[in-house]
Chain A
């Protein structure tokens, strides 16, 4: 079993035998493996550096140096468990990245191969490129949604990136849909993008609510008018409503906005009445 050697600290001119004993004792019952070996190596390096740093300040009392360092490592076994967890997490992350790279390469190879085979067999080069573009777009839509989901689970600063990526994903997904609709010679293919804007507003509205983003209400209210405008354009273009007086759909945003505001106010009022009820029992103390 690897034992800490106090000779490592000779250049500090201080005796850290006790510190080494503390470390050895804390880790004595653990099985010697590559994790423990790596952990011990790192810990010795850290402690050597820290001991040098403290000695540099001018302190001469070995016991105090011992207590400072021990105080900074109160639970070595937990540190080891964290270290092990960190290594495993890094390994998993690396493996995931490797799998993603390999999967992406295989996916692109398959898309290109299918594109070439289909094109050579059918000689339909004029349309087959759509398959290639769609393959790429679907990949980017999937990847950006995947990264957006991962960022959504991280700290606050990553939320805006997550929202941008979700919007990007929606639009990248709209491209193949648009190309398919266009290749089928269906009318008003451009409506796909109008619909994509509608979806983007909806997804972001749900996201800000679910993730409790500050001032979510302002985003939601802000989205209602443009979202209903998109509904109006789609409905009028498809002949579901007439252009006039179909524009009244946009005016519907006013009662919807009012309803949202009233709902928020009622929720806030509930909080307030809760505060009044519990004030007498609250633990408020004025010093």
Chain B
């Protein structure tokens, strides 16, 4: 029987982002035991059965696109390999930089690498299905289901399978506020031409994930010093991002630069319990008027800019009604072309995915020893810095399609980030 699912606004928007990134969200966790792969198979199948979008192909119908639900086998989703310790990094990088096309039979894939009594679990999924925020919820639900099944033989079917519509962000507003939010047609994010200093785009470019781990000690100091300075972790990272960027890109100190920061629109929703996993992310454009005399002044500019956004109760909701209108009044092919003209994807961005709670990501009582999550592989000149923390260790990552020189640039950027963070947290 042919089953079709509605393509939601964000599904279509992320499909449109195909010109900017590969739309694949990545996660990796290390466990100090061997995962029961037979139980894992059942848990994965149950997740897919509860969330049919994960085994669907996106049909780019010119009038109205939709998801076509497909038949699949566990082999299409899960790969299990027993490998030597030295092969783990190469194989996981190879898997994580792989692509999931919207036309593929499945939209999420798992890799388990078993090595020396340990396991590495790598997961990739199409951003059209869910964003980093819901991917985190999904992973926690997934681990809970694995534990329930492997320990208590409870069928692993406990997932949120509700509506995926973008309109859920309005559901908890009062009637008057909802009406006001649904009339926020203007786009408040301005185009900024400042870009990361990558080499020009080339067909030989390959996807890579560059990452840097910040120690527990440094991360705790970021928190403590941030509190003293009236800044959040996000503000501290953003200030270091700005300062490092000016240094490696050679921007003039008096230039005004902006970096877009992903904001989770679930802040407007009281409870996500009855909602499906989906995308609810928008951008907050953090702008500094100049670099500032030192990184502390940069931080002040960042805090000021972020606070302006935070004071707005409709934070992140601007432009959504316009997008919705665009998709409603025109056939999909036409609306894509029109939206492309009006939409400018940020060249510089950051996504603070936040804490990956090890107790909720534990499998059979074993908490992950390490891990990270990161956004899609961006195509030059676009760049996204992702930040996640596990066991109070912060992982900064950038997924780029580039060459060795670009990899060097990103690593140089991470060096500068570390240096600038150490200045920020200095006594």
Q: Which residues of A contact B (CB under 8 A)?
A: 49, 53-54, 56-61, 63-64, 67-68, 71, 271-272, 274-275, 278-279, 282-287
Contact = CB atoms under 8 A, between A and B. Distances in A.
User: Which of B74, B174, B313 has the most chain A CB within a 10 Å cutoff?
Assistant: B174
Interface in B339-369: none
Given A272-B176, A282-B177, 16 more contacts: A53-B71, A56-B73, A57-B48, A57-B49, A57-B73, A58-B73, A58-B75, A60-B42, A67-B157, A68-B157, A274-B176, A275-B176, A279-B177, A283-B172, A284-B173, A287-B267
A60 B42 CA distance: 8
A67 B155 contact: yes
A286 B42 contact: no
Given A59-B41, A285-B270, A64 B156 contact: yes
A58 B174 contact: no
Contact of B266 (A64, A271, A287): A287
A220 to B, nearest CB: 18
B423 interface: no
A271 B179 contact: yes
14 contacts: A49-B1, A53-B71, A58-B75, A61-B42, A67-B157, A71-B157, A272-B180, A274-B176, A275-B177, A275-B180, A282-B177, A284-B174, A287-B266, A287-B267
B45 interface: yes
Q: Would you list the 5 A-B pairs with minimal beta carbon distance, nearest first?
A: A275-B176, A67-B155, A58-B74, A287-B267, A282-B174
Interface residues of B, number: 29
B313 A286 contact: yes
B121 interface: no
Interface in B244-269: 266-267
Contacts of B313: 284, 286
Nearest to A59: B45
Nearest to B270: A285
A58 B270 contact: no
A3 B48 CA distance: 32
Nearest to A68: B49
Contacts of A285: 270
Nearest to A64: B155
A67 to B, nearest CB: 4
User: Which of B46, B72, B270 has the most chain A CB within a 10 Å cutoff?
Assistant: B46
Contacts of A67: 155, 157
A11 B48 CA distance: 24
Contacts of A68: 46, 49, 155, 157
A54 B73 CA distance: 9
B46 A58 contact: no
A58 B80 CA distance: 15
A228 B176 CA distance: 36
Nearest to A277: B176
Interface in B39-61: 41-42, 45-46, 48-49
Contacts of A279: 177
Interface in B1-49: 1, 41-42, 45-46, 48-49
B153 interface: yes
A57 B157 contact: no
A56 B266 CA distance: 36
Contact of B42 (A49, A59, A272, A284): A59
Contacts of A63: 153, 155
A209 to B, nearest CB: 17
Interface in B267-317: 267, 270, 310, 313
Given A63-B153, A284-B177, A58 B267 contact: no
Contacts of A59: 41-42, 45-46, 74
B74 A57 contact: yes
Nearest to B179: A271
Contacts of B266: 287
A63 B152 CA distance: 13
A179 B404 CA distance: 83
Nearest to A276: B176
Contacts of A284: 173-174, 177, 313
A275 B310 CA distance: 20
B5 to A, nearest CB: 15
A49 B2 CA distance: 12
A283 B71 CA distance: 44
Contacts of A272: 176, 180
Interface in B158-203: 172-174, 176-177, 179-180
User: Which of A61, A67, A68 has the most chain B CB within a 10 Å cutoff?
Assistant: A61
Contacts of A56: 71, 73
A286 B267 contact: yes
A61 B157 CA distance: 13
A190 B344 CA distance: 55
B4 to A, nearest CB: 16
A203 B140 CA distance: 56
Contacts of A58: 41, 45, 73-75
A40 to B, nearest CB: 18
A283 B174 contact: yes
User: Which of B42, B71, B156 has the most chain A CB within a 10 Å cutoff?
Assistant: B42
Contacts of A60: 42
Given A58-B74, A64-B42, A286-B313, A271 B176 contact: yes
Contacts of B45: 54, 57-59
Contacts of A283: 172, 174, 270
A184 to B, nearest CB: 46
A262 B279 CA distance: 39
B174 A57 contact: no
B279 to A, nearest CB: 17
A61 B174 CA distance: 47
B40 to A, nearest CB: 12
